Amino acid sequence: MEHGRVLDGERVVRNAPPPGDASEPRLRLLVRYAASDGVPARSLRVALVVGTLLNLINQGDALLGYAPVNWFKLLLTFAMPYAVSTYGAAAVRWSDRTRFTIAN
């Protein structure tokens, strides 16, 4: 069995759950998870790398000056990796919230 750190003389099987009260509305809790612990900065880095690569693939000719740039597509190509990365981080924290147990 995997054991975490010791907390008040008891072994914690998993890390402490993310912050949030069980009575807090679900949407507010998800927004808090999405906006905490470096999630926005990490999602931005993912969006910059993935968005740049996707824009080069999808609009390479436009970015090189051979065709007009579609600015909506360009922005959307950066926004989608950001949204997916943020959702993934919030979903992991949401599922960790229900797996918290203390071993006797």
> What DSSP character marks residue 25?
-
Which pLDDT score, from 0 to 100, does residue 19 have? 55
Rounded to an integer, the average pLDDT of 83-103 is 80
Does residue 13 form part of some domain?
no
Average pLDDT (8-37) is: 69
Q: Give the domain range for residue 56.
A: 24-98
> Is 10 part of any domain?
no
> Is 52 part of any domain?
yes
Query: Has residue 11 been placed in a domain?
Result: no
pLDDT the model gives residue 60: 87
Number of structural domains (the chain) is 1
